[in-house]
């Protein structure tokens, strides 16, 4: 087994070397290919280490982003399940808790064909047919484009590679946002879902109390800083990454666990639910990066007290939308059967905002309010015992 792995690694490096001898920037391409290879191995290992079968798939969107899908093949005739992560997250967050506690493994144990998406710009989906992730053009997207292009590409790919016409959907936070964008703007996709489970869907967020929303009053400064520094990625991994420094510091003992948890709790609310034995693995992959424009879009919606399209300013809004103010997403088009899960202790997506969302949707078939005052925004991923009984 070890010999086989070594052989494959040597063969891979030889192939890389042969390929880069014929290009102008061999070091750059070699590093890029090695990074993609490492990321693929990370995704594969996050599932295979627990004895589950795993497949990695590449999906190209209508606007040429290349996304990564992780699959745990099903064992029955049940429809496939697509799971889509939240802001600054990735597919690994669905499996990091291991069997019996991770949503992806619970669904796989029930016989479902599990697919985990990685949206554009996160660690595992940083490829494009034309642009490099170092290019400004690569990062010119918000959650709007993810809903408009990424989700449809994933759904179409899953349907064409399985025997099922419909898909179950599970989305956390931004995973709920982008579903609502897709289902409202491309309503033909509603019929392709057997059920839709949205956990803390970040649509209306103007009752949010997390200190993280303080940036909303400074979104102009944030955009200006991004343009001046030509740095459009937030929370990314790799050389020079501040979050990687935190991870290494924690791994070596220089950054104590208590300090890490204190900072997490400051943002999401105190709930000592994270298993200390997996905290290192969580930090190894989360945050997974996003575009600054995703944050700006959420900040705009928070200030506008609305779930609306991206605000480009009055002049560009007229050119794009025909109005000075961006239009709201037409939620009346969302006819798929929606199930909402939300918490009294969520300071990012409070109950009041989810209730307003429910009032706007025409086909909410179930609402589940978690009454625990300490159940916070990330407990859906890292303290998920309720999922076995409530979802799927």
Average pLDDT over residues 323-348: 97
Check pLDDT > 50 for residue 7.
no
Please write down the HEC assignment for all residues of 313-347: CHHHHHHHHCCCCCCECCHHHCCCCEEEEEECCCC
Task: Output the pLDDT for position 384.
Answer: 58
CB of 363 closer than 8 Å to CB of 357: no
pLDDT band per the 50, 70, 90 thresholds, residue 217: confident
More confident residue, 231 or 203: 203
CB of 32 closer than 8 Å to CB of 117: no
CB of 154 closer than 8 Å to CB of 193: no
Task: Output the pLDDT for position 207.
Answer: 97
The residues that are catalytic are 173, 346, 377
Q: Is domain 32-382 annotated with CATH 3.40.50.1820?
A: yes
pLDDT tens per residue, range 294-310: 999 999 999 999 999 99
Comparing C-alpha atoms, which of 313, 239, 282 is closest to residue 93? 282
Q: Which two tokens stand for residue 5?
A: 């792995």
Per-position DSSP letters for 149-180, written without gaps between them: IIHHHHHHHHHHTSS-S-EEEEEETHHHHHHH
Task: Output the pLDDT for position 306.
Answer: 97
Q: Domain ranges for the chain, please list them.
A: 32-382
Most confident of the following: 72-81, 202-211, 226-235, 263-272: 202-211
Within the chain, how many helices (H) and strands (E) appear?
A: 15, 11
pLDDT tens per residue, range 78-109: 899 999 999 999 999 999 999 988 999 999 99
Check pLDDT > 90 for residue 226.
no
Task: Output the pLDDT for position 43.
Answer: 83
Task: Output the pLDDT for position 151.
Answer: 98
* CA-based torsion, 271, 276, 278, 281: positive or negative: positive
Which residues pair with residue 89 across a beta bridge?
A: none
pLDDT band per the 50, 70, 90 thresholds, residue 11: very low
Average pLDDT over residues 58-64: 98
More confident residue, 150 or 216: 150
Check pLDDT > 90 for residue 224.
no
Instruction: Give the whole-angstrom CA distance, residue 250 versus residue 244.
Output: 10
Check pLDDT > 70 for residue 188.
yes
In this prediction the pTM is: 0.89
Helices (H), 186-275: 219-229, 242-252, 257-268
Kindly report the average pLDDT of the chain as a whole number. Answer: 89
């Amino acid at each position: 087994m070890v010999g086989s792995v070594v052989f494959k690694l040597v063969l891979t490096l030889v192939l890389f070397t042969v390929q880069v001898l014929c290009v102008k920037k061999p070091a750059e391409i070699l590093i890029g290919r090695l990074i993609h290879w490492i990321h693929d191995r990370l995704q594969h290992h996050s599932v295979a280490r627990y004895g589950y079968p795993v497949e990695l798939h590449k999906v190209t969107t209508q606007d040429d982003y290349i996304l990564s899908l992780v699959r745990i093949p099903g064992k029955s005739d049940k429809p496939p399940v697509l799971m889509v992560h939240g802001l600054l997250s990735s597919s690994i967050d669905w499996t990091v808790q291991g069997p019996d506690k991770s949503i992806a493994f619970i669904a796989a144990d029930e016989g479902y064909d599990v697919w985990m998406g990685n949206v554009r710009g996160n660690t595992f989906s940083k490829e494009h047919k034309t642009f490099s992730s170092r290019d400004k053009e690569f990062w010119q997207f918000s959650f709007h484009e993810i809903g408009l292009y990424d989700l449809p590409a994933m759904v179409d790919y899953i349907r064409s590679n399985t025997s099922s016409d419909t898909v179950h959907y599970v989305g956390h936070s931004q995973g709920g946002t982008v579903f609502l964008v897709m289902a409202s703007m491309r309503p033909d996709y509603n019929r392709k879902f057997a059920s839709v489970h949205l956990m803390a869907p970040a649509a209306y967020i103007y009752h949010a109390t997390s200190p993280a929303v303080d940036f909303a009053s400074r979104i102009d400064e944030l955009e200006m800083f991004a343009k001046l520094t030509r740095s459009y990625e937030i929370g990314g991994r790799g050389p020079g990454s501040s979050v990687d420094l935190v991870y290494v510091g924690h791994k070596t003992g220089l950054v104590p666990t208590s300090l890490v948890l204190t900072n997490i709790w400051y943002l999401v609310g105190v709930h000592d639910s994270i298993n200390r034995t997996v905290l290192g693995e969580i930090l190894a992959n989360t945050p997974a990066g996003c575009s600054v424009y995703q944050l700006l879009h959420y900040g705009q919606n928070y200030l506008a007290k609305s779930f609306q399209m991206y605000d480009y300013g009055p002049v560009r809004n007229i050119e794009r939308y025909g109005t000075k103010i961006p239009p709201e997403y037409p939620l009346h088009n969302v006819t798929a059967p929606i199930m909402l899960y939300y918490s009294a202790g969520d300071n990012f997506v409070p109950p009041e905002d989810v209730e307003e969302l429910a009032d706007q949707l025409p086909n909410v078939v179930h609402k589940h309010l978690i009454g625990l005052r300490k159940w916070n925004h990330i407990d859906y991923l890292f303290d998920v015992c309720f999922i076995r009984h409530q979802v799927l």
